[in-house]
Amino acid sequence: MNYKESHEFQELPDYMHSGIEMYIDDGVPPGGFLEAVFANDLVGAAARADSVNIAHLKQYAAFMYHQAPMACRGSYEKVAAWRGTKHIDDKYEPQRL
């Protein structure tokens, strides 16, 4: 089954689908929140999440575990490699709250 047809993908907010698809399918860099999600950075994702996405962190975790290709997730290095670059020094660093 294509990840786009999965239950886990469909549970994510609709307005986030295109960013996820562009990253997984084409290597287009995701925004700060999605980059943190794909990098398995819970604190970074929570710091960057809007009110809708913060409520869906469990669904993002399920999608990452069950549907996202292993090569595109797990660390900032894997995210950079998936994008086709080894330059991760430009990753967003959240401000301390």
- The runs of H, that is alpha helices, within the chain are 7-10, 17-26, 32-38, 42-48, 51-54, 57-66, 76-82
* Per-residue pLDDT of the chain in tens (97 residues, 90 and over written 9): 899 999 999 999 999 999 999 999 999 999 999 999 999 999 999 999 999 999 999 999 999 999 999 999 999 999 999 988 534 444 444 444 4
Q: How far apart are CA 57 and CA 91, in angstroms?
A: 20
pTM: 0.84
CA 17 to CA 93: how far, in whole Å? Answer: 24
